[in-house]
Structure 1
Amino acid sequence: MSAIKRFPLKLTGRRMLAPTVAHLSFVRDDGQPLDFVPGQFLQVHFEYADGTATKRSYSLATIHDHALAPGDAVEIAVSYVAGGAATALFEGLDEGGRVEASGPFGRFCLMPADANARYLLIGTGTGITPYRAMLPLLEQQMAQRGVEVVLLQGARSTAELLYGDEFRAFAEAHPGFRYVPCLSRELPEAGSPHAHADVRHGYVQQFLPGFAPDPARDIAYLCGNPNMVDACFEALKEHGLPVPQIRREKYVSSK
């Protein structure tokens, strides 16, 4: 088996999405394109302090509907974990600094052959990033075949709704797209942009039955906290969705 080809990524920008989550922008620094499908992830390779090789996986958050040309932004969301080796790597990376990456990998993607009437997209934490990347393809499918989309995003508070402003703006511009933030700890204050009718108080799995999952019309995507993924998977099966119509990816924070 041939070795996985690695390539350099150069950091071009950083902004905080939440108190412990950073949005990092890179460019591929070898002049090559990055042939990625929204929903796929990259692996970043580095070493522990003792020299042991390790790697972390990050879904691409880049909003794009085709391969990234040389110079296009390669975007990921990174959770900072106290004492984490990957956290130390990224926090210590100055603009212009480089990391080694490989990929993209994964099949957590929209499928060209899908003929469903609705997508149920469910995510927590950085598990929401694949859906940001999918927005152009979802826009195409809504326009071309009238598919509806419901995005349920779980977070503790509005401060942790990663890309929430973007999802809300997309929903306002596309009547077929419904954005439902589910906040487990605190609801937004009156007057907040997120204080709208579709905000729920609780966990995403509590509200899934209210959207009447239907095997005849739905395909569901689950990404994020493993407990959430498992709970929603079981709930969707109870509503009759066959396993091929439930696409899953679990995110576990690694140090």
Structure 2
Amino acid sequence: MKQFPLKLVSRRMLAPTVGHYVFQRDDGEPLDYIPGQFIQIHFQYADGTTTKRSYSLATIHDHALGPGEAVEIAVSYVPGGAATALFEGLADGDTVQASGPFGRFCLMPADANRRYLLIATGTGVTPYRAMLPQLEQQIRERGIEAVLLFGARTPAELLYGDEFRAFAERVPGFRFVPCFSRELPAQPHPDVRHGYVQQFIDEFAPDGVGDIAYLCGNPNMVDACFEALKGYGLPVPQIRREKYVSSK
């Protein structure tokens, strides 16, 4: 497995326990990826044993212009976690070793659907951020629709929420539906819902003929939505899944 160095350019907090990290390859090579893929960060435990963690690419890039330089990921901080200690200890200009990209949780060129149902919780929303240019192109060229149901406990934990709302306002055909399980915003948008994402699938009347669904995030949510969508007649190949489990 070929590894390459990533140099930290900047970071900011997306939520109280989630950081957004911007890297660039430090070997002069581009990272040619497909939105929805992930990279692996390699590091050592204190006892010297090696390990790795997987992070979906959050980079927004117009691939018609070629591979971009930025490598963006969202990192959940886990108390006492070795990966958390690594990322919290990074300063601008520091490097980490990475490999990839990997994965097939991507929009497929052969898709002939009428709508994408994108469902996520937590950092599981990261790959959908990277997909936004592709979705905009498909909405424009194929006339499809896309709905993003994104579950968070509170408004402070709605990762990239302002970006998704701005995209929805700019791009007809894309709808952003935040679902808050604990606390609602002070002045909620009409598309805001109170509860868990799986509670609102019925509202969008999934259709086995015209819909393709993507599920990413908490394994319990993924399983519940998978069963619900099968009940609506979506064939299993039209329900694409990726489960996120926070690793220390």
TM (norm. structure 1) is 0.95
2:229 maps to amino acid: L
Letter in 2 for 1:170: F
Do the aligned residues in 2 keep the contact of 1:224 with 1:249 (CA within 8 Å)? yes
2:26 maps to amino acid = D
> Which of 219, 241, 248 does residue 226 from structure 1 map onto?
219
Residue of structure 2 in register with 1:149 after alignment = 146
1:211 to 189, 204, 216: 204
Aligned amino acid, residue 67 of structure 2: L
Q: Which residue of 2 aligns with 1:162?
A: 159
Cα distance between partner residues in 1 of 2:32 and 2:170:
28
CA distance in 2, matches of 1:68, 1:11: 18
Deviation, 1:152, is 0.2
Amino acid at match of 1:189: A
1:76-95 equivalences under 5 Å are 76-95=73-92
CA contact (8 A) 1:37 1:65 kept: no
Q: In 2, are the aligned partners of 1:38 and 1:65 still within 8 Å (CA)?
A: no
Q: Does 1:16 align with 2:17?
A: no
User: Structure 1 CA distance, aligned partners of 2:216 and 2:61?
Assistant: 19
- State the distance in 2 between where 1:151 and 1:216 align: 19
What whole-Å deviation, never above 9, does each CA across 1:44-92 have from its counterpart, x for those lacking one? 00011011110000000000132534xx110000000100000000000
| Mapped partners of 2:59, 2:208: distance in 1 | 30
Structure 1 partner of 2:25: 28
| Equivalent residue, structure 2, for 1:52 | 49
Letter in 2 for 1:225: N
Q: Tell me the TM-score normalised to structure 2 length.
A: 0.98
Matches within 5 A, 1:123-142: 123-142=120-139
Equivalent-residue separation in structure 2 for 1:112 and 1:39 (angstroms)? 13
1:42 is aligned to 2:39? yes
Which letter maps to 1:120? L
Question: Whole-Å Cα distance in 2 between the matches of residues 106 and 171 of structure 1?
Answer: 27
CA distance in 1, matches of 2:16, 2:115: 33
Report the secondary structure of 2:104's partner residue.
coil
Q: Report the CA distance between 1:209 and its aligned residue.
A: 1.3
Q: Contact (CA 8 Å) 1:6, 1:102: kept in 2 or not?
A: yes
User: What is the count of residue pairs matched by the alignment?
Assistant: 246
* Structure 1 gaps, min length 5: none
In structure 2, the residue matched to 1:243 is 236
Contact 1:9 1:26 in 2 (8 A): yes
Q: Give how far 1:37 is off.
A: 0.2
**8 Å contact kept, 1:10–1:98:** yes
Q: For each residue in 1:182-229, what CA deviation from the matched residue of structure 2 results, as whole angstroms up to 9, or x when unmatched?
A: 000011113xxxx11110000000001111000110000000000000
SS at match of 2:201: helix
User: 2:184 is matched with which residue: 182, 187, 190?
Assistant: 187
Q: CA deviation at 1:117?
A: 0.2
Q: Which runs of 5+ in 2 are unaligned?
A: none
How far apart are the structure 1 equivalents of 2:237 and 2:209?
A: 13
CA shift digits 1:229-251 (9 cap, x unpaired): 00000000000000000000000
Write out the 4+ residue segments of structure 1 that deviate beyond 3 Å after TM superposition. none
* 1:7 corresponds to: 4
